[in-house]
Structure 1
């Protein structure tokens, strides 16, 4: 909301309707589903969006930052809003709020690609884990992510921060039923701390779909039945289990390293 001539509108009222919408987007993990818009807080996520060719619809700045921010970010979005500092700080759930934010339209849900290297998330609860797993997926070439019902909201502010920009290079689908996996034409692999073949001791298929489950319960029995192979990660140090984000990074990395050989089941 810019005034004629391109000057941003200044918000100084706590009761401003737009400010209330921004607060919900920033603090409610599923508000983006109702509003159809996403809140990105901080210049790192903003740069990641723009580097991928993404476009914001609104840029938001604290009043004290606007004179410096205008030169760099004034054209990051077609509309800019400047918010009184105390009100801007109230948008964030961070101890040290970032000094800018962008609002963008929620991307449309893509069609599932049957042959794509895929990551399946089965009821992962922790937003930090989900964001970290998405970073690994993007880094190792697993561009399609299928999040089953019960998984933390993929576009929530906490998952976005943990993902560090990985979202903008991925095809994300969420709130799926397990039956949606019927459309996959690649083998499904699961992992466990104590069961299955030792990871690294046999060929891995490419492309494939890796499934990672609930932090305490692992993948569901239904996903286990669908799996073409179950593997375990060797832990010579003797720990009971690995964090799911660490386990995902190990499995996806090994798949990527063996991609050139292209072994099949």
Structure 2
């Protein structure tokens, strides 16, 4: 990875230090230290720059991010990849079901990480895996992966500030209300390392909004569109079960496989600010056929 980024200094930035300017653009201390150690890591008008230098109007700051390492212990595996978007800073994958985001016990060579290691390895490009919005194994749809430390840090901060807006689609058992806000704290269930539950004493604040798009009385199923205001583990699955309309095909919370073989949940839209260009990104993924066919 060798990414060069230029910044033209305007009047509002005059007088700021190089370091102060870059921090305002999302550069963490760790990234700045690495840039200082990189040959031609930070240039001012084509000349190596100290980070305490003061900027002048029309200065050109050039940053060069060089990453030659690869993620340890992630084997490259040739798996299908549906790429929704890619540029020098990020890649957005339309993830299929039955694909974990990260390697874990029992999942060493079937993950999104394995697929991306192969994808970039086949191009002779070093790659460190930085997944931003991790999806559960059987949840389909859009997930962002940062291609370098700067993008990863900025997008990680955006997640913490709830500045990545996510829209999901789910198929639920029963006829849900037309619309609803669910505000119920979520905690890890006792004696389980995986399962979560609503717990008003121990749980973390969690809010989900949804509207019902369609209801099929023949199979008593609702198609709902959900927006997450927080990002707790299994939030949609736990919240919908809590109000009495669990997702179908959910092995953990509602193992009903009458109509579908996996949890009926899809990450259908991501809206966020690009970590480097500042462009507003609005990415959409169509509802997969196994969910759409039920209506």
User: Which structure has the greater CA radius of gyration?
Assistant: 2
Task: Report which of the two has the higher share of helix.
Answer: 1
Q: TM-score higher than 0.5 here?
A: no
TM-score of the superposed pair, with normalisation by structure 2: 0.27
